[in-house]
Structure 1
Amino acid sequence: MASVLVTDDAAFMRMQLRDILTKLGHEVVGEAENGQDAVEKYKKLKPELITMDITMPEMNGIEAVQEIKKIDKEVKIIMCSAMGQQGMVVDAIRAGANDFIVKPFTPERIQEALDKIL
């Protein structure tokens, strides 16, 4: 079981991820609505895993990954991308993300990503 910070600017996406992660036996310790918020919440909550949307206001997911990885190289980050964001996913992996899942999410795909990185 991992402690998880869910980051997405859309409340319904955070809720969907929270539900799936909770059903898979993980503990969602916080939610962030943009990259800046994710960096701040990461410092406070120190989760083992972060789900990170790519496209968000204020600070995007790639910038947030870079900031968080400066604090902790070991934290696991799964990027959440929409179809057609493959180029940004590559940038995110270069920035330190461990895996990515494409919206709409399925519990199976999330479990697969978790099994791979945890």
Structure 2
Amino acid sequence: MSGILVVDDKPAHRDHVASILSSAGYKVTGKASSGAEAISLFQTVKPDLVTLDLIMPDINGMDLLRVMKGNCPSASFLVCTSISHEMITDLAIRSGADALFHKPISASSLLSKVSQLLGSPESK
């Protein structure tokens, strides 16, 4: 396994998360704009971590999380969403997410959680 896969159907959000991670020294090994593309890239790049948008047009993020986690239980998942509801957070964690972040993403909180899960970028 290697690197981070960023999944979001909105290019600006996808690029923002990838930029935060890359600027901090983490290796972004793929960016996907749909659930189908995410599954394909997930199988190809075998990432250590996936940042995952919850609302996407083809496959919702919860279903995608369950599929990916089922295929690779050792991968970490950070769900990113604009939905702010306690039930969503609980469902994401029960489905296998390591954390849930609300958009707009705070660079410091994202990097703090990624560091907890993967270690510092220098150790990669």
TM-score over 0.5 (shorter chain): yes
Query: Which moves more between the two structures, 99-108 or 82-91?
Result: 82-91
Q: Structure 2: which 5+ residue stretches go unaligned?
A: 119-124
**In the aligned structure 2, how far is the partner of 1:102 from the partner of 1:21?**
16
Q: CA deviation at 1:85?
A: 4.1
Q: Which residue of 2 aligns with 1:11?
A: 11
Stretches (4+) displaced over 3 A = none
Q: CA deviation at 1:40?
A: 1.4
Q: Which residue of 2 aligns with 1:52?
A: 52
**In the aligned structure 2, how far is the partner of 1:85 from the partner of 1:45?**
32
Q: Which residue of 1 aligns with 2:61?
A: 61
**In the aligned structure 2, how far is the partner of 1:92 from the partner of 1:35?**
16
Question: How many residue pairs end up in the alignment?
Answer: 117
Does the 8 Å CA contact 2:7/2:38 hold for their aligned counterparts? yes
Q: Which residue of 1 aligns with 2:24?
A: 24
Q: Which residue of 2 aligns with 1:79?
A: 79
| Counterpart secondary structure, 2:17 | helix
Q: Structure 1: which 5+ residue stretches go unaligned?
A: none
TM (normalized to structure 2)? 0.87
Q: What is the root-mean-square deviation in Å for CA atoms of aligned residues?
A: 1.4
Q: Which residue of 2 aligns with 1:110?
A: 110
Does the 8 Å CA contact 1:34/1:57 hold for their aligned counterparts? yes
Percent of residue pairs bearing the same amino acid type: 27
Q: CA deviation at 1:70?
A: 1.1
TM (normalized to structure 1)? 0.91
**In the aligned structure 2, how far is the partner of 1:92 from the partner of 1:83?**
12
